[in-house]
Amino acid sequence: MAATFPLYFASVRTCSRENKPLATTVKECAKVFGEQGLTVRSFFVRAAPFSVLTVAAHYMFVLALSLLPATDVSALYVSNVSFVYLLSWILLREKFASAGIMSVILGISGIVLMSYSDGFGGSSLLGVALGVGASAGHALYKVLFKWLLGEADSGQVALFMTLLGLCTLLFLWPVGLVLYFTGAEIWGLHALPWQYLCATAGFNFAFIQLINFGAAFTFPIFISVGILVAVPVNAAVDAIVHNKTVSAIKVMAIIIFIMASLLLLLPDGWEEQVRKVIPCKKKGPPQEELFTSRSLRRIHSCSPSRASNA
């Protein structure tokens, strides 16, 4: 992430006719940190929480991958659409909709089904908990990013991401040493799969760029829905490469997660459109009119003229 702003500045200098100095560009982009611009206080108040949040969410995601197949973890990650809706409703004051409530209910149901598929115990339950924690952490990251930056331009987003990467590099590297010396993580430089590690770093860089720029320029829900593509891709890879099949319960959970995501794409007023398309059963007369007609018939049957004729 630290290379985001240098790449942005190099592209601007190459493609734009205006050759603004670096200091001027940084000063303009630093408005994302408030009226005073970039200060030590604004750096730690705004960049540090995002740094801790993104590292914690990524670490839980990787731990979940060590306990569950990639298909299960990606399916659990799709549930962040429900978390994004709840957080957007609280922080971004998004419009309250019935489709959102249905999406949240379906998301919770999918999590329960995914937990039930391998039993409520052992490493599978821990993997589900870590997957849900990573999903909730990334949802909070995207909503807070939108809440903090608002309608930021690309330069402001690039500067924020660069400072976020520097904060992670400068202050969170001791966490790796603590995990290593405590035995929580065991690794050696000679045993690391550098090819896969470099490929993962490249894909992760592209993933973070798309999430951050997407969260700044569009709604976080749209970013979450894009994760749906990863579920069938991971399922195909697990089936072809690892010979792992997906159980029927997990298929049901994946379908529920997808339905929860698609519900949030419904436009406003979709209930009225459905009522226009689907014909409703014709209603009978109102209760007041029915009561009045019955009363008139009784009065007419008991009138003096009818009694005398009898």
Residue written as token pair 């100095």: 21
Q: Is residue 159 part of a domain?
A: yes
Give pLDDT tens digits for 68-99: 888 888 888 888 878 888 888 888 777 777 77
Q: Is residue 292 part of a domain?
A: no
User: What was the pLDDT predicted at 288?
Assistant: 47
Provide the residue range defining the domain that includes 33: 4-277
- Domain tally, the chain: 1
Q: Is residue 296 part of a domain?
A: no
Q: Is residue 308 part of a domain?
A: no
Mean pLDDT confidence for 185-191: 77
Q: Is residue 304 part of a domain?
A: no
**pTM for this prediction:** 0.74
Q: Is residue 294 part of a domain?
A: no
Give pLDDT tens digits for 7-46: 888 887 787 777 778 888 888 888 878 777 788 888 888 8
Q: At what angle do helices 194-217 and 122-149 cross, to 10 degrees?
A: 40
HSE of 217, CA atoms in CB hemisphere, 13 A: 12
Q: Is residue 139 part of a domain?
A: yes
Terminal Cα-to-Cα distance of the chain (whole angstroms): 99
Give pLDDT tens digits for 220-276: 566 666 677 778 888 888 888 878 777 788 888 888 888 887 777 776 666 676 677
User: What was the pLDDT predicted at 104?
Assistant: 81
Give yes or no for a contact between 266 and 99, defined as CB atoms under 8 angstroms apart: yes
Alpha-carbon gap, residue 84 to 140, rounded angstroms: 7
